[in-house]
């Protein structure tokens, strides 16, 4: 699965802005935006039709019927097509500006005979560029979190959805339920279809959080066994992605609270009950996100502690080695002064001994063995045996 170049991570998305003084209703379409695809699904309790449309006017005959008509617009790359849709659905200029100038903060606006709902849909895609460190690392590359704006325009028997990207969405199960008449969706009106699509978007966050939960568990093992700079980069990216999810889902909780709390003539009482369940799912997602953010923050602390402990073990190793060689260096330094023993009986008479050199070497070896035995009895080498069991190639 590929994405166009203007697909973005939520953490880096700015709010949609126009030049100061722009005319209300100005459409700000990106040059690399994908050309829109129009797909119409019209259904009733007895039939369901799915048609790809070549132009927006082709949907007009279906909008005048009593059946439920769902026009799904995938892509924002044609201002002419979007203007025509605005005329067909009698969209206010500000509504069209909101759905086209992405990204927008999730919100809901009631226009009487129309209900505008702007939401965000997230998905994960593999991203090999997010490396997992050296070959000894166990953490797989983090998937890339993508965000897409989806706008709903609900009318009495019609629903218009406008997606930012044409390549992916989470509406497949809803389309399948309509096509195969599963559940009660074909017996309900457009407000139930709106709920079903919104619920599919909200439920799409759960697999994402499940993936990040597995990443956190793997990172916990990696931080303890092989803390590398790449591990730190993974933790930092994880924290930013979780913040991204929080920013994406938090306004949607407010949106759903508004739909549940306020009376809207386009949403029936029976559908509001379903929206309450959708609201509960949103709260549950927020709780999971907050929990994972706390775990990610604790991972950072564990990483710093692990690196500090490893540094202490390295310093202890160097200290032991230095302690063993300091007296040996002292002895070697004394016998390297070369004072003439013939000038004075105090000037290193050992230089004339027949076995002087082997005796000094033996004394130095005995001293080194004594120090090693002393450190072993103190238990220092047991710490080193645990240290050697770790990845010796890990950098600090």
The overall pTM is greater than 0.85? no
Among the candidates 251, 285, 306, a domain finishes at 306
**Cα 113 to Cα 89: distance, rounded to the nearest angstrom:** 11
> Are 157 and 103 found together in one domain?
yes
- The confidence score (pLDDT) of residue 383 equals 55
**Cα 303 to Cα 238: distance, rounded to the nearest angstrom:** 14
Among the candidates 275, 306, 337, a domain finishes at 306
Name the CA dihedral angle for 256, 262, 268, 274, rounded to a multiple of 10 degrees: 30
Q: Is residue 323 part of a domain?
A: yes
> Are 154 and 72 found together in one domain?
yes
Q: Is residue 296 part of a domain?
A: yes
> Are 97 and 112 found together in one domain?
yes
For the chain, helix (H) and strand (E) counts, in that order, are 10, 7
- What string of DSSP letters covers 97-140? HHHHS-----EEEE-SS-EEEEEEEEEEE--TTS---STT--PP
**Cα 161 to Cα 249: distance, rounded to the nearest angstrom:** 19
> Are 32 and 137 found together in one domain?
yes
Q: Is residue 5 part of a domain?
A: no
Residue 142's nearest CA partner among 156, 125, 158, 157 is 125
3-state helix, strand, coil in the chain (%, to 5): 55, 15, 35
Q: 158 versus 133: which is more confidently predicted? A: 158
**Cα 137 to Cα 222: distance, rounded to the nearest angstrom:** 7
Angle among Cα 239, 135, 217 to the nearest 5 degrees reads 35
Residue 99's nearest CA partner among 167, 25, 43, 44 is 25
> Are 292 and 354 found together in one domain?
no
Q: Are 99 and 118 in contact (CB under 8 A)?
A: yes
Q: Domain count of the chain?
A: 2
> Are 37 and 166 found together in one domain?
yes
Q: Is residue 76 part of a domain?
A: yes
- The confidence score (pLDDT) of residue 222 equals 85
- The confidence score (pLDDT) of residue 345 equals 77
- The confidence score (pLDDT) of residue 294 equals 92
**How many Å is the Cα radius of gyration of the chain?**
35
> Are 362 and 295 found together in one domain?
no
> Are 264 and 358 found together in one domain?
no
Residue 152's nearest CA partner among 97, 122, 113, 195 is 195
- The confidence score (pLDDT) of residue 118 equals 94
Among the candidates 261, 287, 306, a domain finishes at 306
Q: Is residue 286 part of a domain?
A: yes
Query: What digits encode the pLDDT tens for the residues 119-137?
Result: 999 888 776 555 544 434 4
Q: Is residue 4 part of a domain?
A: no
> Are 57 and 40 found together in one domain?
yes
- The confidence score (pLDDT) of residue 137 equals 45
Query: What digits encode the pLDDT tens for the residues 2-49?
Result: 334 344 444 344 455 666 766 776 777 777 778 899 999 999 999 999
Query: What digits encode the pLDDT tens for the residues 314-367?
Result: 787 778 888 888 888 888 887 777 777 777 777 777 777 778 788 888 888 888
Name the band, by pLDDT with cuts 50, 70 and 90, for residue 140: low
Phi, psi (deg, nearest 5) at residue 159? -140, 125
Query: What digits encode the pLDDT tens for the residues 86-105?
Result: 999 999 888 888 888 888 88
> Are 54 and 105 found together in one domain?
yes
Phi, psi (deg, nearest 5) at residue 73? -105, 120
Find the domain containing 203 and state its range.
10-306
**Cα 103 to Cα 165: distance, rounded to the nearest angstrom:** 12
- The confidence score (pLDDT) of residue 4 equals 40
Element (H or E) spanning 42, and its range?
Answer: strand 37-43
**Cα 200 to Cα 233: distance, rounded to the nearest angstrom:** 32
Name the band, by pLDDT with cuts 50, 70 and 90, for residue 389: very low
Q: 11 versus 281: which is more confidently predicted? A: 281
Q: Which CATH number fits the domain that encloses residue 286?
A: 3.30.460.20
Residue 223's nearest CA partner among 208, 210, 238, 245 is 238
Q: Is residue 376 part of a domain?
A: yes
Q: What tokens does 252 get?
A: 């949607």
> Are 295 and 333 found together in one domain?
no
What are the Cα distances from residue 377, in Å, to 313, 365, 371, 380?
18, 18, 10, 8
Q: Among 68-77, 139-148, 226-235, which range has the highest average pLDDT?
A: 68-77
> Are 84 and 122 found together in one domain?
yes
Q: Are strands 115-125 and 48-53 parallel, antiparallel or unpaired?
A: unpaired
Query: What digits encode the pLDDT tens for the residues 291-311?
Result: 999 999 888 888 888 777 777
**Cα 89 to Cα 329: distance, rounded to the nearest angstrom:** 91
Q: Is residue 393 part of a domain?
A: no
């Amino acid at each position: 699965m590929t994405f166009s170049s203007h697909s973005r991570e939520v953490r880096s998305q700015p709010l949609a802005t126009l030049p100061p003084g722009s005319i209300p209703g100005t459409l700000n379409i990106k040059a690399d935006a994908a050309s829109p695809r129009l797909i119409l699904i019209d259904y009733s309790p007895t039939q369901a039709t799915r048609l790809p449309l070549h132009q927006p006017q082709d949907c007009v005959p279906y909008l005048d019927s009593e059946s439920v008509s769902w026009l799904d617009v995938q892509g924002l790359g044609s201002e002419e097509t979007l203007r025509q849709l605005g005329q067909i659905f009698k969209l206010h200029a500000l509504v069209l500006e909101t759905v086209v100038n992405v990204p927008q903060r999730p919100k809901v606006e009631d226009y009487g005979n129309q209900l505008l709902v702007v939401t965000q849909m997230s998905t994960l895609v593999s991203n090999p560029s997010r490396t997992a460190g050296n070959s000894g690392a166990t953490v797989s590359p983090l998937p890339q979190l993508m965000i897409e704006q989806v706008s709903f325009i609900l009318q009495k028997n019609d629903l218009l959805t406008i997606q930012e990207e044409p390549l992916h969405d989470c509406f497949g199960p809803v389309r399948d339920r309509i096509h195969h008449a599963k559940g009660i969706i074909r017996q309900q009106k457009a407000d139930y279809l709106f709920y079903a699509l919104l619920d599919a978007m909200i439920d799409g966050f759960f697999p994402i959080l499940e993936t990040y939960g597995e990443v956190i568990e793997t990172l916990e093992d990696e931080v303890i066994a092989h803390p590398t700079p790449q591990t730190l980069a993974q933790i930092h990216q994880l924290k930013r992605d979780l913040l991204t999810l929080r920013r994406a889902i938090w306004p949607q909780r407010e949106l759903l609270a508004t739909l549940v709390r306020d009376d809207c003539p386009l949403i029936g009482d029976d559908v509001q009950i379903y929206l309450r369940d959708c609201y509960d799912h949103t709260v549950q997602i927020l709780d999971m996100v907050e929990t994972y953010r706390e775990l990610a923050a604790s991972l950072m602390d564990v990483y710093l502690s692990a690196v500090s402990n490893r540094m202490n073990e390295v310093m202890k190793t160097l200290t032991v080695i230095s302690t063993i060689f300091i007296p040996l260096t002292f002895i070697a330094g004394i016998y390297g002064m070369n004072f003439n023993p013939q000038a004075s009986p105090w000037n290193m008479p050992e230089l004339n001994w027949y076995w002087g050199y082997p005796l000094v070497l033996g004394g130095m070896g005995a001293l080194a063995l004594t120090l090693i035995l002393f450190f072993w009895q103190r238990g220092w080498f047991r710490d080193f045996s645990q240290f050697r069991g770790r990845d010796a190639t890990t950098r600090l």
